[in-house]
């Protein structure tokens, strides 16, 4: 019978044989979508983003028996509601791009939960083929699934397979070459709901000029009753507000009758359908034995042991990221230093040389130096995710984070933020709810990153006793954490309130991840970082360089340069008096004095240039704003340059205080800061606070924009950090002065 159908299909569509066939892979996270995708498409794949959002999109194509097949890896979802962007993307893709076939990967060892998505795909009317994956795992547990019976009951082909080994791949591809018709599953939602669905369909049919949305009227009616915001808008737009009013009235009546909301009732009914289905097709071992997962979970999600273990796991991740990353990061730093040296020698002391060395290599190299940390972090995250532990982590932390009005999963990115805010914000991708994600992104920069440490060390070292310096620095970190918690609460309850994702605390089975899948997951993320942070950064780095470099001329330049030549001539003269070549290692007090005079004049010139550079002018322009919090224009420039990267604050202060920024000069800088009357222990502390609270560095801003996909939130982040930093510093500075500090 099946073969007949295949023949008929082949005969009726002879021309189509040359057309590429589009195949979408849909399934729960961790069901094996990527594994299947990789075995099918091999190297011919392309990773990008879905339009307008930051959900990863993987596409590939390959030839199978002379037919070109285009595969799209849809985002992993448990459902097709409008709760997360992944779900909306998957649903929209199927409805609007209408792939020839949707291969629904179902984890056979976790059939019940996986079938929830299947049921929705079938309700949508998608041309579904079920790839019943991980039958090896199911069999290992003694679960036997009658896949033929499952296919019959659902009305779609079901192909058992083991994606990891490639078993069942050919059977699957044979089925794909003969795409099934659109599915026609109708779940019976019970008398009351069916009644309401029918009435809503009637309203749509009564509007003859307007076709029902893709997926059909029944599906749209079900979605409406599920309070799906996307469908509400869609239907209101095409059928007018009446249909939504009608739905609300019908839903209210049902809620009165059944004492439960329609949304819950629909979900319950679907699960009821699945339970019935499972009873028909699954036979379990007679004795319901405890699985390995149950045993591990007894420890890892234990009421008392779960949290300590979780904290340990996170601590280990955090430690590995920054201790194992330190050495390679140093090497990369050295490499970029060497590269800078090579180009400096090649291009000389020219404008182009400065642009390449300071702007391009200094700017982009600085960010790429974080790559080892990024790789280690993403390796750890991929491990935690692929094993299934991440789901437990959220499960354990959910209660604690709920008190802070944050999602359980927010905990992970915040912890990462102590190292670097850029990967911290990227780690928010594990959050499904957009609002949770935005709140976490907004407060993540308050977790003081490693780049800010040099600033604290410099200032605390210069203005506090060695015994107090450690506590001073610790207090800054603590203030950051407290602000993060406090503001997250405010943002989540005031700015981004309501609409929390009903968080299904699913506990997927533990699985031993393959090295290949972990490495692949790690690399995919790392590559995005290299590519996008690299390109975005390059342009901003060049801009910053220009602001500090231009204009090259400044008032009084000629006189200063004449003085420089005079001093240089004096050095040469002294050298010839001594009978030595200039630059040779001359041990003569007078000679050294003269050399120092030249260096001093060079510093004078560069600081005059700095004062009149665009950045310098901005520094002097913003001075009135900084005055109430105790800073002058020079600190202003340092803070502006800190936008490029927080460490830069230290090196800019070095240039400003005309001592250069080389390592041996740092004690001189300490002395120069102490000598500047503007600096007291109070201003130093306020400057540390400002560094902590003010707008994050440009790499972070770029990543905030990329991850929120919104200029509005990026602007908000910049705005609130600026206001927060200023207000807190004002209060501390003025308060400190009042009490006589
Ligand atoms: P996705 O995120 O849904 O695309 O799932 P992945 O492709 O990342 O697979 C999740 C994990 O399941 C990986 O560690 C795979 O190696 C593993 N996996 C995939 N298919 C099978 C299978 O058929 N059997 C077993 N035992 N493991 C599998
Ligand atoms: Mg995947």
Q: Which residue has the least CA distance to atom 22 on ligand 1?
A: 134
pLDDT at 179 over 50: yes
pLDDT at 659 over 50: no
Q: What is the pLDDT of residues 100-143, one digit of tens each?
A: 999 999 999 989 889 999 999 999 999 999 999 999 999 988 88
pLDDT at 686: 96
pLDDT at 738: 93
- What is the token pair recorded at 598? 């030249």
pLDDT at 535: 63
pLDDT over 90 percentage in the chain = 30
Ligand 1 center from residue 386 Cα (angstroms): 8
| Closest listed ligand to the CA of 385 | 1
* In 124-267, beta strands by DSSP E: 128-133, 144-145, 158-160
pLDDT at 185: 84
Ligand 1 atom closest to 137 (CA): 26
In CATH, what is the architecture of 8-177?
3-Layer(aba) Sandwich (3.40)
- What is the token pair recorded at 438? 């935005």
Ligand 1 center from residue 31 Cα (angstroms): 6
Burial 688-721 (b: 16+ CB within 10 A, else e): bbbbbbbbbbbbbbbbbbbbbeeeebbebbbebb
Neighbouring-strand partners of residue 159: 131
Q: What is the pLDDT of residues 222-253, one digit of tens each?
A: 999 999 988 999 999 989 899 999 999 999 98
Task: Give the side-chain half-sphere CA count within 13 A for 268.
Answer: 9
* Residue whose pair of structure tokens reads 């999109």 in the numeric block: 57
The rounded mean pLDDT for the chain is 81
Q: Which residue has the least CA distance to atom 3 on ligand 1?
A: 30
Ligand 2 center from residue 42 Cα (angstroms): 15
| Closest listed ligand to the CA of 390 | 1
Give pTM, 2 decimals. Answer: 0.50
How much is the average pLDDT of 58-79? Answer: 90
Ligand 1: lining residues by beta carbon, under 6 Å: 27, 29-35, 76, 133-134, 136-137, 162-164, 386, 511, 513-514, 517
> How far is C-alpha 244 from the chain's CA centre?
36
Tally DSSP H helices, then E strands, for the chain.
35, 9
* Residue whose pair of structure tokens reads 């005309």 in the numeric block: 658
Greater model confidence, 738 or 549? 738
Which of 37, 78, 162, 163 for mutating ligand 1's site (highest number of atoms within 8 Å of CB)? 163
Ligand 1 center from residue 32 Cα (angstroms): 4
Angle between the N-to-C axes of helices 614-626 and 589-612, in degrees from 0 to 180, rounded to the nearest 10: 70
pLDDT at 657: 63
Sign of the alpha-carbon torsion through 362, 367, 370, 372: negative
| Closest listed ligand to the CA of 513 | 1
- Of 294-308, 322-336, 479-493, the poorest mean pLDDT is in 322-336
Greater model confidence, 47 or 626? 626
**Contact (Cβ atoms closer than 8 angstroms) between residue 357 and residue 347:** yes
* Residue whose pair of structure tokens reads 């979900």 in the numeric block: 267
Q: What is the pLDDT of residues 422-475, one digit of tens each?
A: 888 987 876 767 888 899 999 999 988 767 776 787 788 789 987 787 788 878
Spatial distance between the Cα atoms of 506 and 110, rounded to a whole number of angstroms: 11
How much is the average pLDDT of 526-555? Answer: 71
Q: Which residue has the least CA distance to atom 25 on ligand 1?
A: 134
Ligand 1 atom closest to 162 (CA): 23
Fold for the domain defined by 191-283 = Helix Hairpins (1.10.287)
């Amino acid at each position: 019978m099946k073969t007949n159908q295949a023949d008929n299909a082949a005969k009726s569509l002879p021309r189509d044989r040359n057309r590429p066939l589009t195949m979408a892979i849909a399934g729960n996270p961790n069901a094996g979508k990527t594994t299947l995708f990789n075995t099918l498409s091999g190297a011919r794949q392309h990773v990008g983003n879905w339009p307008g959002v930051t959900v990863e999109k993987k596409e590939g194509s390959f030839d199978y028996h002379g037919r070109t097949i285009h595969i799209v890896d849809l985002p992993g979802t448990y459902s097709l509601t409008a709760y997360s962007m992944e779900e909306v993307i998957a649903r929209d893709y199927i409805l609007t791009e209408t792939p020839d076939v949707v291969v629904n990967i179902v984890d056979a060892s976790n059939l019940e939960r996986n079938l929830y998505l299947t049921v929705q795909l079938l309700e949508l009317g998608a041309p579904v083929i079920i790839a019943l994956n991980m039958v090896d795992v199911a069999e290992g547990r003694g679960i036997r699934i009658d896949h033929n019976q499952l296919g019959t009951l659902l009305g779609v082909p079901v192909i058992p397979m083991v994606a990891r080994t490639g078993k069942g791949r050919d059977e699957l591809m044979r089925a794909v070459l003969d795409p099934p018709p659109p599915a026609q599953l109708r779940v019976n939602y019970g008398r009351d709901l069916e009644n309401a669905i029918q009435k809503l369909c009637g309203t749509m049919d009564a509007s003859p000029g307007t076709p029902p949305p893709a997926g059909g009227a029944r599906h749209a009616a079900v979605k409406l009753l599920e309070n799906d915001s996307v469908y509400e808008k869609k239907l209101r737009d095409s059928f007018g507000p009446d249909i939504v009013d009608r739905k609300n009235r019908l839903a209210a009546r049902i809620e009165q009758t059944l004492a439960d909301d329609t949304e819950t009732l629909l979900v319950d009914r679907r699960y009821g359908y699945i339970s019935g289905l499972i009873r028909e097709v699954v036979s379990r071992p007679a004795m319901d034995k405890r699985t390995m997962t149950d045993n591990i979970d007894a420890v890892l999600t234990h009421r008392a042991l779960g949290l300590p273990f979780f904290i340990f796991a996170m601590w280990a991740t955090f430690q590995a990221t920054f201790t194992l990353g330190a050495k390679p990061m140093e090497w990369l730093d050295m490499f970029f230093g060497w590269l800078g040296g090579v180009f400096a020698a090649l291009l000389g002391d020219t404008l182009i040389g400065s642009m390449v060395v300071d702007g391009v290599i200094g700017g982009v190299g600085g960010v790429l130096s974080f790559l080892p940390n990024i790789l280690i972090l993403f390796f750890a995250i991929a491990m935690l995710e692929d094993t299934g532990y991440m789901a437990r982590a959220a499960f354990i932390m959910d209660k604690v984070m709920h008190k802070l009005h944050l999602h359980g999963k927010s905990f992970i990115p915040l912890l990462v933020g102590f190292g670097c805010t850029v990967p911290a914000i990227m780690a928010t991708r594990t959050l499904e709810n957009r609002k949770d994600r935005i709140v976490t992104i907004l407060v993540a920069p308050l977790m003081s990153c490693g780049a800010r440490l040099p600033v604290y060390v410099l200032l605390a070292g210069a203005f506090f006793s060695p015994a107090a310096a450690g506590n001073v620095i610790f207090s800054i970190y603590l203030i950051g954490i407290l602000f993060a918690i406090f503001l997250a609460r405010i943002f989540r309850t005031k700015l981004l309130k309501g609409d929390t994702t009903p968080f299904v605390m699913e506990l997927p089975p533990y699985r031993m991840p393959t090295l290949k899948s972990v490495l692949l997951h790690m690399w995919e993320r790392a590559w995005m970082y290299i590519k996008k942070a690299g390109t975005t950064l390059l342009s901003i780095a060049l801009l910053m360089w220009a602001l500090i470099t231009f204009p090259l001329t400044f008032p009084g330049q000629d006189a200063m340069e004449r003085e420089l030549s005079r001093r240089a001539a004096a050095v040469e003269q002294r050298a010839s008096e001594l009978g030595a070549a200039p630059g040779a290692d001359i041990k003569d007090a007078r000679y050294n004095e003269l050399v120092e005079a030249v260096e001093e004049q060079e510093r004078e010139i560069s600081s005059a240039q700095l004062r009149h550079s665009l950045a310098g002018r901005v520094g002097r322009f913003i001075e009135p704003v900084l005055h109430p919090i105790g800073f002058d224009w020079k600190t202003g420039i340092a803070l502006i340059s800190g936008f490029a990267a927080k460490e830069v604050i230290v090196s800019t202060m070095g240039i400003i205080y005309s001592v250069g920024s080389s390592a041996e000069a740092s004690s001189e800088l300490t002395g120069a800061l102490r000598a500047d009357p503007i600096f007291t222990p109070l201003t130093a502390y306020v400057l540390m606070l400002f560094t902590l609270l003010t707008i994050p560095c440009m790499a972070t801003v770029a990543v905030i924009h990329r991850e929120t996909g919104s200029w509005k939130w990026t602007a908000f982040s910049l705005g609130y950090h600026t206001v927060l930093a200023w207000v807190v510093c004002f209060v501390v500075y003025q308060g400190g002065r009042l009490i006589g500090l």
